[in-house]
Amino acid sequence: MRFEELDPDKFEVRIPEDEPVYPLNIVCGLLHMHYWTLHQLMREGVMAQKSRAKAKKKLFSQKDIRKLKYIQYLIEDKGVNIKGVKVILEMETIDHRP
């Protein structure tokens, strides 16, 4: 039996959506975002910096990538600057608190 003929669910690897596994260069490629923009978002505190202790590589989760797509939408489509994005995200966090 060939691999292509097997049940795909049987060999699927499930990664939790909040597990940081994507390095910065991959995230930038997926989102067509310049690495400087991503560094600026981290410097301004819009995105949390997650890194592996030994390698010091910044890693991002699927959840982070969705958040970055939303941030990208706010910046590119709605014309919000980075400080404005930070305020919007803070307001959304306050609205979702119990």
Does residue 12 or residue 34 have the better pLDDT? 34
Residue 96: predicted pLDDT: 65
Tell me the pLDDT of the chain averaged across its residues.
88
Protein fold of 15-95 = Multidrug-efflux Transporter Regulator; Chain: A; Domain 2 (1.10.1660)
Residue 93: predicted pLDDT: 83
Q: How far apart are CA 87 and CA 70, in angstroms?
A: 14
The pLDDT tens digits of the residues spanning 35-83 come to 999 999 999 999 886 666 566 788 999 999 999 999 999 999 999 999 9
Q: Where are the beta strands (DSSP E) in 11-76?
A: 22-23, 59-60
Whole-model pTM: value is 0.81
Please report, for the chain, the start and end positions of each structural domain, with discontinuous segments joined by +.
15-95
The answer, yes or no, to whether residue 8 has pLDDT greater than 60, is yes
